[in-house]
Amino acid sequence: MALSSAPGKVYLFGEHAVVYGEPAVPCAIERRARVDVERRTDGKLRVHAEDLTLDGFTVEYGTATERPDVDVSQSLIRAAMGYVDGAIEQVRDVTGEADVGFDVTIESDIPLGAGLGSSAAVVVAAIDAATRELGYELEPDELAERAFRTEYEVQEGQASRADTFCSATGGAVRVEGENCRAIEAPDLPIVIGFDGGAGDTGKLVAGVRALREEYEFAADTVETIGNVVRNGEDALAAGDLEEVGRLMNFNHGLLSALGVSSRSLDAMVWAARDADAYGAKLTGAGGGGCIVALDPTEATETALKFTPGCEETFRAELAEEGVKRLE
């Protein structure tokens, strides 16, 4: 048996624009997915999920081409199972054991589809645990690459390397195209607000693409987000949290102009700003899910708790360590 965990993430800057080669800066946070893997001799997969914002369920099936027989919608099946299937295929590829089966148990305190990198964390932890169960140990860079390939396939070419690299390595990272590296960041007083929902990542990414193709100023907006990221890197390096916050506010406005915010996300962003947070913005694909704010005081947490549409608020420490090998 092997057990691994991997962290979720928030974007300080750059989501959506990163799809078009602009830089992005995500940070790993101490909300984790834990995946327990044990080899089985019959070649089957048995997957038990405790959380993932679904009711707990267990499925067992022979190959990745057979669909689990459970009484939930096919869209939820794809969300819960597609990443696990992809991760196991990567394990079979790297180990050369094409017919190996596993019992896989997933526990996660990262909301599914909320912009906190839940799928990346599950995939990173699953690949790490399953390869170790077979006697292999991947370096973080290869683990991130294998996890990216899984997300790229499941998301039909719309994934970036940001989520999986950040989850595998931890800390704050800079991603631009295929180039990923760790960057220095000060202690960040991260506050997260969650509206209880999830955006449709594919639809939101496609919407930005359509705007970018139709309007030159939309393409300019994407490029401007890249410029915000570059300024944000300088502010992080200088430890200037007030400037980081101002640039986060700017980034949210640009994302809103691209149509990926929502009423609930805007309401939480403005509640944080009215509480004198350094800055606040949506994180992830948008359309629903989470916002990230920077505030060393309790004011933003208090404000969000009384904001209509905010279902949960919590602090999140920067996860300095990425994947953790627990057993």
pTM: 0.87
**86/175 Cα distance (integer angstroms):** 23
Q: Which of 125, 153, 184 is the last residue of a domain?
A: 184
CB 106 within 8 Å of CB 52: yes
Q: Which of 123, 157, 184 is the last residue of a domain?
A: 184
Active site residue 163: yes
Q: Judge if 300 and 229 occupy the same domain.
A: yes
Q: Judge if 59 and 101 occupy the same domain.
A: yes
Task: Characterize 170-202 residue by residue with b for buried, 16 or more Cβ atoms within 10 angstroms of its Cβ, and e for exposed.
Answer: bbbbbbbeeebeeeebeebbbbbbbbebbbebe
Identify the active-site residue in 36, 103, 163, 195.
163
Q: For the chain, what is the domain count? A: 2
Q: Judge if 195 and 131 occupy the same domain.
A: no
Q: Please check whether residue 83 lies inside any domain of the structure.
A: yes
Q: Judge if 225 and 207 occupy the same domain.
A: yes
Q: Judge if 137 and 214 occupy the same domain.
A: no
* Residue numbers of the domain that contains 172: 2-184
Q: What is the pLDDT along the chain (327 residues), one digit of tens a residue?
A: 999 999 999 999 999 999 899 999 999 999 999 999 999 988 888 888 765 444 444 555 454 444 544 444 455 456 557 888 889 999 999 899 888 989 999 998 888 778 898 889 999 999 999 999 999 999 999 999 999 999 888 877 767 788 999 999 999 999 998 899 999 899 999 999 999 888 888 889 899 999 999 999 999 999 999 999 999 999 999 999 999 999 999 999 999 999 999 999 999 999 999 999 999 999 998 999 999 999 999 999 999 999 999 999 999 999 999 999 987
Q: Judge if 39 and 125 occupy the same domain.
A: yes
DSSP state, residue 18: G
